[in-house]
Amino acid sequence: MLSSTVGGNVGVGQSLGRGGTILAHGIGGRGDLPVPFSLALAGAAAALVVSFVILAWSWPAPRFDNRETGRVLPLALTRVVDAGVFRSALRVLGLLATAYVGVAAIFGPDLLVNPTFGVVYVLLWVGLVPLSVVFGPVWRYLNPLRPLHLLLARLLRVPPVEGLIPLPARLGAWPAAVGLFAFVWLELVAPDATSLAVLRMWVTAYVVLSLLLALVYGARWFDRGDPFEAYSTLFGHLSPFARRPSDGRLVLRNPLAHLAGLGTGPGSVAVVAILLGSTAYDGFSQSTTWIGFVQGSGIPEVLAGTGALAGSILVAAGSFWLATVLAGGLAGGGASERTSSAPRLRSELPGAFAGSVVPIVLGYLIAHYFTLLVLEGQQTFIYLSDPLANGANLLGLAGRDVDPSLANNPQMVAGVKVGAVVVGHVLGVIAAHDRAVALFPRRTALLGQIPLLVVMVCYTLAGLTLLFAT
């Protein structure tokens, strides 16, 4: 939620005074993107349609169903990653980093120079995405709440894994979805989201609730209920590093093949829709159309923002749900024609296709937060060198300036942003096609993909419109 506009007038870390910053995740205004808007739209739509045609001709059977595929990495690497010493070192690293930032959050000044804001909104929320895409679901190993829960469970003599009662399977990923919505609401809608009092309150509630629920349901709660672990795990399925189910060996695998193994239980579509819809709302909320509406409507800004955020998420979820259900209706045949892996109920199709939206979400996030991570990420590390703003230089970075060279290259930024949206959607089309030919009868699989193609084209056009409109 910090400034990341990408023109030549970048105001990295501009302060609005005590406890505030310019709240603009910034996807770059139209003047920052030296690409004709109509050309970008036409090119993106054409790329999706051409991709679909090529796939229809050259991809008649699923290629990502075999979870045993991949180039096996040396056994020594698997042993190192699985070693208790290595995992304990990551836990200690997570705890030490949390304690370091915690000191700033508790004792530091309620000013922009406090690194807590940048750590939460930039390094954690945005930086966790590339880390997970490259290395896999890293947050489950760095999550400081896991060792704290283990300590509490032992002190209270509660089984750390099983907890007191079983975690109901029907909950699926819904608890994580609720937590994700709570965070994006804090980030995008909550008043004074960059005041320490508000951020402390949210983090305290998150920590207390997480530890209590983990004591009740055991460590399995983090797997299914922790929003940041769900977030990291989702993008971790785009990592080239995967596990071979037969023996647990680490392998290098096509990320789309890894994505095909994403869980499809209850709440999986909600998690994806929250990420997609909240990113769209973040872009729209910076447009002159939205700002003018809020200022002239008389509706309280928090109420308007909450409604628009929820509406964006519902539109994302509803359009995807409708497209997948229509796909099942167009492609479905008799029971004898259905593939063995096809969902039994049409209502299960959204979950089966949810993974195909993940590359689209990743493309939106890159387009939306690329400059934020590069520019405000630098500023956050500079502030971390002096966490209490008392003249310290613990990391040797205090007094340095942010390198603005990225902001002075709008052509490159435009290429990254537009390219991320288009490439993300093309990869989504590929993933959806592979799912369709795996789930539907071959003679109707292409027909069933038409609703999915239409909704993906709409997502592309909407994403590019937001990219150019702010």
Instruction: Give mean pLDDT, residues 334-350.
Output: 55
Please write the tens of the pLDDT for every residue from 80-97. Answer: 999 999 999 999 999 999
Write down the pLDDT at residue 30: 39
* Three-class DSSP category at 15: strand
| pLDDT tens by residue, 132-167 | 999 999 999 999 999 999 999 999 999 999 999 998
pLDDT at 7: 33
Burial degree of 65 (CB within 10 A; 0-12, 13-18, 19+): middle
Which alpha helices (DSSP H) does 285-371 contain, by range?
288-297, 301-331, 349-353, 358-371
Task: Summarize pLDDT for 303-339 with one digit per residue, the tens.
Answer: 999 999 999 999 999 999 999 988 888 876 433 344 4
Is pLDDT of 341 > 80? no
DSSP 3-state assignment of 243?
Answer: strand
- Segment 33-63, tens digit of pLDDT: 555 666 667 777 788 888 888 888 888 888 8
Question: Can you tell me the distance from the alpha carbon of 348 to that of 290, in angstroms, rounded to the nearest whole number?
Answer: 35
Mean pLDDT of 186-206: 93
Report pLDDT for 345.
55
The DSSP annotation for 399-428 comes to T-----TTTT-HHHHHHHHHHHHHHHHHHH
How sure is the predictor about 407, in pLDDT bands with cuts at 50, 70 and 90? confident
Q: For residue 405, what are the contacts with CB-CB under 8 A and spacing of at least 6?
A: none
What is the pLDDT at residue 35? 56
Query: What mean pLDDT, rounded, does the chain reach?
Result: 84
pLDDT at 447 over 70: yes
Q: When comparing pLDDT for 46 and 363, which is higher?
A: 363
**pLDDT for residue 239 is more than 90:** yes
